């Protein structure tokens, strides 16, 4: 393994932030006055670093084979410099696509989807509450004004979605993957809709059900522990939202997912699909082992599609895209806000996780430190993206709507969104 050292020294010299390494046996590479220090207990970890396998290096940290000193922001700047190329690039051979599809079909049965959602979202409500905003909105915020706090930007996002959907009092509104209820409750309290939310997370279901009772909204707001595939189609909804959920659907199920939404939406109604999209047209996860790290420790079964593929599947389901907005840098800022909040409370986070996860606490905390900061870096650099796609189900009547040919509630201008 000693022949790795000259290569690693060249890599360190080229990094945008000063990094030092403590090798097995005690030798140190780099100066003592550095922003980041990596301490290795095994030579195999150093080999992974030299090869640019950032995801595998992250796994070594989670599993305790590597220790990290320094801020997550400096660490991610160094990680970006260590990658051998653009992590958006991936194997695009026909057999790779076939294998991805087979894996996607197997990973997204109803039973496996429920288990995968609970693996992530049921870690601990108290843990998430440490670094999310007070409404516990776990999706990209909307920094409409430069000086907004995270809490203000999350409320701006909730209202942005409601405005885009033209929510009106008394309308039937469905929120697929309602999380801890931020959008569901905002729509009910500020726009007067009759709101239904669904989730596969038992913790989220209990949390939102309690809030509904506390706020006296039981008559027109409900939260169901239900798979989207089980929803009743006999009474279509006026408006539908899906925020931060379709990343869990799987490429192989995307056509069926949008087909289901089309059947749940009344003719002329509006749907908002807000979610993470791939940075390249042919990759479904990041290279450099980063996608594998997220699959193992954070989001098992998660798959990303490029926005072009999303739009194609929507169109095939008879849903017409009328407005698409890219919020990629907003998600970078959101994730850094979450990361900074977690970093400021590491001791408290560890105590919370000890109560709920026991001996897994340290691994979970280490994984989330890398996940939040790594995703922030990835959004900043354009390796992954975030799109809000507003769409309609045309009613087939050229004389409906405010503009002839609209065939929906959408006015075919953006003025109403910002009025």
User: How many degrees, rounded to 5, is the angle at CA 79 between CA 73 and CA 83?
Assistant: 150
Beta bridge partners of 265: 237
Closest C-alpha to 212, from 164, 244, 178 = 178
d(CA 226, CA 26): 54
Residues 304, 247: contact at Cβ < 8 Å? yes
The span from the CA of 75 to the CA of 116, in Å, is 29
CA pseudo-torsion sign 350, 356, 361, 366 = negative
The three-class DSSP label of residue 231 is coil
Beta-strand pair 384-392/320-326:
antiparallel
SS3 state of residue 68? strand
Has 375 been annotated as catalytic? yes
Euclidean distance between CA atoms 262 and 232, whole angstroms? 13
Task: Name residue, tokens 């894996």.
Answer: 103
The whole-angstrom separation of Cα 213 and Cα 221 is 9
Edge-to-edge strand ranges of the sheet holding 36-40: 28-29, 19-22, 36-40, 66-69
CA distances from 332 to 125, 230, 372, 383 (A): 23, 34, 10, 11
User: Which three-class secondary structure state does DSSP give residue 165?
Assistant: coil
Angle at 270 between CA 299 and CA 259, to 5 degrees: 55
Q: Distances in Å between the alpha carbon of 234 and those of 100, 171, 263?
A: 34, 16, 9
Catalytic residue, from 76, 153, 198, 375: name it. 375
CB atoms within 10 A of CB 25: 7
Give the residue from 346, 340, 348 showing the smallest Cα distance to 366. 346
Q: For the beta carbon of residue 111, count every other beta carbon within 10 angstroms.
A: 8
> 242: which strand partners?
176, 273
Please give the positions annotated as active site: 375
């Amino acid at each position: 393994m000693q022949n790795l050292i000259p290569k690693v020294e060249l890599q360190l010299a080229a990094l945008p932030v000063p990094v030092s390494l403590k090798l097995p046996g005690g030798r140190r590479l780099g100066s003592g006055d550095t922003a980041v220090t990596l301490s290795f207990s095994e030579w195999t970890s150093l080999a992974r670093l030299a090869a640019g396998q950032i995801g595998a290096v992250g796994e070594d940290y989670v599993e305790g084979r590597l220790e990290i000193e320094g801020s997550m922001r400096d660490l991610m700047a160094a990680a970006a410099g260590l990658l051998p190329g653009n992590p958006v690039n991936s194997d695009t051979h026909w057999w790779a696509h076939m294998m991805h599809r087979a894996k996607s079909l197997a990973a997204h049965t109803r039973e496996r989807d429920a288990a995968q959602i609970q693996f992530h979202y049921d870690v601990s409500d108290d843990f998430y509450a440490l670094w999310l905003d007070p409404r516990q909105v776990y999706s990209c915020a909307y920094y409409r004004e430069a000086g907004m706090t995270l809490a203000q930007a999350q409320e701006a996002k909730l209202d942005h979605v409601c405005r885009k959907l033209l929510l009106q009092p008394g309308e039937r509104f469905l929120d697929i993957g309602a999380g801890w209820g931020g959008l569901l409750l905002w729509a009910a309290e500020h726009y007067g809709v009759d709101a239904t939310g669904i989730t596969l997370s038992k913790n989220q279901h209990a949390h939102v059900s309690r809030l509904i009772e506390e706020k006296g909204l039981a008559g027109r707001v409900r939260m169901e522990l239900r798979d989207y595939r089980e929803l009743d189609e006999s009474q279509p909804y006026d408006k539908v939202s899906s925020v931060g959920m379709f990343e869990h659907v799987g490429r192989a199920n995307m056509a069926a997912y949008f087909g289901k939404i089309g059947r749940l939406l009344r003719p002329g109604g509006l749907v908002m699909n807000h979610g993470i999209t791939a940075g390249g047209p042919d990759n479904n996860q990041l290279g450099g082992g980063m996608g594998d790290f997220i699959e193992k420790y954070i989001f098992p079964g998660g798959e990303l599609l490029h926005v072009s593929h999303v739009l194609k599947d929507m169109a095939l389901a008879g849903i017409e895209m009328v407005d698409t907005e890219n919020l990629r840098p907003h998600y970078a800022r959101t994730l850094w806000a979450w990361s900074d909040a977690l970093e400021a409370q590491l001791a408290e986070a560890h105590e919370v996780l000890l109560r709920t996860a026991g001996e897994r606490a340290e691994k979970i905390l280490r994984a989330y430190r890398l996940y939040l900061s790594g995703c922030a870096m990835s959004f900043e650099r354009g390796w992954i993206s975030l799109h809000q796609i507003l769409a309609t189900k045309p009613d087939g009547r050229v004389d409906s709507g405010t503009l002839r040919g609209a065939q929906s509630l959408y006015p075919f201008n953006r003025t109403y969104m910002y009025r």
